[in-house]
Amino acid sequence: MMPLGGLSMEAQAFVIFCLGMLVLMGIGMNMALALVLTGAGMAWVMGFWDTQLLAQNLVSGVDSFPLLAVPFFILAGELMNAGGISRRIIDMAQAWVGHIRGGLGYVAIGAAVLMASMSGSALADTAALATILLPMMRDQGYPMRTSAGLIASGGIIAPIIPPSMPLVIYGVTTNTSISALFLAGIVPGLMMGAGLIVAWKWVLRRIDLPGGARLPLASRLRATARAVWAILMPVIIIGGMKSGVFTPTEAAVVAAFYALLVALFVHRELSVMALGPVLVRAARTTSIVMFLCAGAQVASYMITLADLPGVLTGWLGPLIEHPRLLMVVMMLVLVLIGTALDLTPTILILAPVMLPVAVKAGIDPVYFGLMFVLNGAIGLITPPVGTVLNVVAGVGRIPLADVIRGVNPFLVTYLAILALLVAFPQLVTAPVAWLR
């Protein structure tokens, strides 16, 4: 096709991609459908219009063995919440640290880290934490604004600590080792938990909260014993992958099967008859994620044909020789994009474009993938989109504006951690090398 308006074919495709996504998102169109239509527009501009080609890409977007991990991790998260596994984790955390001044905040942080190592879903973990802890915090006089912000911030640890669904999607989309990405997420995930503890202590200086009664050691041990089956879940998953017993995809199946057995036969809080609604919820969430993957494949294929990674490399050419500065620029771009775009679409749309630039600059692809997902996870608690913020506001019946104000101290903490990891990549790469 001849250039129109003095623009090359690649430039036209880039304009179609950017304007198409902005316009379609602006009118509230479903993200997956917006990706399909944007990809179709790019195909028409570049002279590759073929309905069969579009259909083939839609199918290939979900025809992936590693991507099978997504529905099983989603199912595992639903079974955890329905089968009492999540509640037992919170009860155990409360038994050990609930008596400390502001103890329910520390309970939320500890439970968020433990639950993140089981489900890998920010929305599922946030919903479970908010459902159980927000009423308790309200009853004990905690300020709802800050409490909701803390729970929302704890929920986004799930995309970082393995098993993480966003890391699975990133690995499939960019052909990066999912096992290596899982290992890369351990230290940053723990840093996020530690950062929340520091931020919560700082917030407590301005809040007058009484301390609770310390439980006897026997009560603490009983709460721990009730949660032992939940604690074993991440040990089995991470230990199995580390020892090579099963792959990340197989680990998702193991997680779902384990959660099902514990919920049905150990805790006995889930009946066979109640499995139907659990399966329906998991299927609905899976369909949303898979449709996004299918739509993104159409756009991604056209992005590759238009050589948009090459165009981006040309624009960022002067920074290729300065990897640290390049990372700063790309992280700032992703922070801005995260305010308007959810995590999964950000991975599907931008990861195939940005990763080749990072690799050309000599940046480790596993490190870049972890940083990309971490940045996108932070976007889940940044307005105006802030999916996790909406979950907390809906579950706790708190005005969204209050949740946004309450999350600010923890958002600043996460941005500081992001900057620290940009300055010292060894915090991610060294543990991965040691664990592997």
- Among 18-27, 52-61, 184-193, the least confident range: 18-27
Q: Mean pLDDT, to the nearest integer, of 358-362?
A: 94
Q: Mean pLDDT, to the nearest integer, of 104-119?
A: 93
Give the pLDDT score at 6: 54
Q: Does residue 1 lie in a domain region?
A: no
Tell me the pLDDT band of 359, cut-offs 50, 70 and 90: very high
Q: Does residue 262 lie in a domain region?
A: yes
Give the pLDDT score at 15: 78
Q: How many other CB atoms are there within 10 angstroms of residue 307's CB atom?
A: 15
Prediction pTM value: 0.89
Share of the chain above pLDDT 90, in %: 57
Q: Mean pLDDT, to the nearest integer, of 48-77?
A: 88
Q: Mean pLDDT, to the nearest integer, of 115-144?
A: 91
Cis peptide before 163 (omega within 30 of 0): yes
Does residue 310 or residue 359 have the better pLDDT? 359
Does residue 307 or residue 430 have the better pLDDT? 430
Give the pLDDT score at 7: 58
Supply the angle between the helices 217-226 and 85-97 in degrees, to the nearest 10.
160
Direct distance between the N- and C-terminal alpha carbons of the chain, in angstroms, rounded to an integer: 49
Q: Rounding to the nearest 10 degrees, give the CA dihedral for residues 411, 380, 237, 244.
A: -100
Tell me the pLDDT band of 83, cut-offs 50, 70 and 90: very high
* Contacts for 298 with CB less than 8 Å, ≥ 6 apart: 35, 36, 39, 40, 54, 57, 58, 61
Number of domains in the chain: 1
Average pLDDT, the chain: 89
Give the pLDDT score at 262: 95
Q: Does residue 2 lie in a domain region?
A: no
38 pLDDT above the threshold of 50? yes
Q: Does residue 4 lie in a domain region?
A: no
Q: Does residue 185 lie in a domain region?
A: yes
Give the pLDDT score at 3: 46
Give the pLDDT score at 2: 42
Q: Mean pLDDT, to the nearest integer, of 382-411?
A: 92
Does residue 99 or residue 184 have the better pLDDT? 184
Q: Does residue 41 lie in a domain region?
A: yes
Give the pLDDT score at 10: 66
Tell me the pLDDT band of 385, cut-offs 50, 70 and 90: confident
Q: Mean pLDDT, to the nearest integer, of 379-399?
A: 91
Q: Does residue 324 lie in a domain region?
A: yes
Share of the chain above pLDDT 70, in %: 97
Q: Mean pLDDT, to the nearest integer, of 56-82?
A: 89
Q: Mean pLDDT, to the nearest integer, of 34-57?
A: 86
Do residues 373 and 171 touch, judged by C-beta distance below 8 A?
A: no
Most confident of 246-255, 319-328, 411-420: 411-420
- Say if residue 65 is exposed, middle or buried (CB neighbours under 10 Å; 0-12, 13-18, 19+): exposed
Q: How many other CB atoms are there within 10 angstroms of residue 266's CB atom?
A: 14
Q: Provide Rg for the chain, Cα atoms.
A: 22
Q: Domain containing 428: what range?
A: 9-435
Q: Mean pLDDT, to the nearest integer, of 19-39?
A: 84
Give the pLDDT score at 1: 44
Tell me the pLDDT band of 8, cut-offs 50, 70 and 90: low
Q: Does residue 120 lie in a domain region?
A: yes
Does residue 162 or residue 413 have the better pLDDT? 413
Give the pLDDT score at 340: 76
CA dist 70 → 11, 33, 178, 250, 382 (Å): 35, 20, 12, 11, 24
